[in-house]
Amino acid sequence: MQIMMTPGLCSNTHRSTGGTFCESCFASFLLHDCYPDRACITNVVDDGKEATTLVLQYGAYEKAVELTDANRELLAFGGWPGWVQFVEQLPSAPVQHSERSSLIATLDDYKDQVLTRVRKSGNDADEASFLVALGNMYVAQGDLSKGIQQHQHAIRIHELHGDWVAAARVYWTIAKLDPEAAADLKTAITYMERAIALAGPADKDAFARELAAMRQAG
C-alpha cells in the first residue's frame, strides 16, 4: 500500500504547518497504525504489496520511505527526521487551484470506498471518526461546505449514541471554521454542559476546561 502526502494542506488561518507541529503530527500518524486521517493525505493506493510506503509529494518534489513494524517507532521518535526537513525545504508557494480540484475529486472517491467498508463493519464510532477526519481534509482543500457536511454527519451518529462530549467537540470544530456558526457554538456549549452533568469526578475537570474555552470563544 502507498500513502501519498502533500505537506502544507492543513495550513489555514487556525494553524500553520512545519517544525514541531509536523513532527508531532507525523509521530502520531505512525504510532496509530498509519490510519489515513491526516489532512495532508491525498491518496491511498493498493499496490498489491504487504509493505506500506509513505510518499511525500509537493509539485516536483518527492521522497518515499517504507514503513515497517520494526522501524515505525524509531521513525516516530526522531530516527528519520526527513518529514520535517522535507517540509522546511519546500518552496512557500501554495497549492494551485487546479491541484486542489484534483485532490477534492480524490477525496470524493476515497470517501465512498472507506465508508462502504466501515459501514459493513457496523462500527459507528469508527464511521464518526472517519467522517470528522474526512471533513478536516475537505476543509484543508478549501471546500468548507463539504467539510462541514461530513462533520454534521458525524454529529448525528454521536447524538444517536448519546455521546455528548464527542458531539460538542464536532460542533465546536464547525463553529471555529465558520464565523457565522453561532448556533453551532451554542449547541457545543449546551452539549458539554450536559456531558459534565453526567460525567464522573475523573472527567468533570477536563470537560470543564473545554467548556470554559468554548464560552470564551463565544
Q: Which helix (H) or strand (E) holds 12?
A: none
Return all residues near 98 (Cβ < 8 A) that are at least 6 apart. Answer: none
pLDDT > 50? residue 128: yes
User: For the residues 61-71, what does the mean pLDDT come to?
Assistant: 80
Judge whether 38 and 25 are in contact, CB under 8 Å: yes
Q: What DSSP letter does each residue of 35-77 carry, written as one string?
A: -S-STTEEEEE--S-SSEEEEEEETTEEEEEEE-HHHHHHIII
Whether 136 has a pLDDT exceeding 70, the answer reads yes
Specify the pairing of strand 2-5 against strand 52-58. parallel
Q: Which domains, and CATH codes, for the chain?
A: 2-88 (no CATH), 123-217 (1.25.40.10)
The Cα 162–Cα 147 span in angstroms is 23
> How do residues 155-181 score in pLDDT, each as one tens digit?
999 999 999 998 998 898 888 878 777
Helix (H) or strand (E) holding 183: helix 182-198
- Residue-level pLDDT at 21: 56
Q: Is the pLDDT of residue 54 over 80?
A: yes
Provide the β-strand partners of residue 62: 57
- The amino acid that residue 84 corresponds to is V
Cell triple for 6 = 502533500
Tell me the H-state helices in 14-162.
19-31, 69-74, 82-88, 97-121, 124-140, 144-160
pLDDT for 77-106, tens place per residue?
655 556 556 656 655 544 444 555 565 666
Give me the pLDDT at residue 40, please. Answer: 75
55: its cell numbers: 510518499
3-state secondary structure of 16: coil
Query: pLDDT tens digits for 73-83?
Result: 777 665 555 65
Looking at residue 15, the DSSP 8-state letter turns out to be B
Amino acid at 179: P
pTM of the model: 0.55
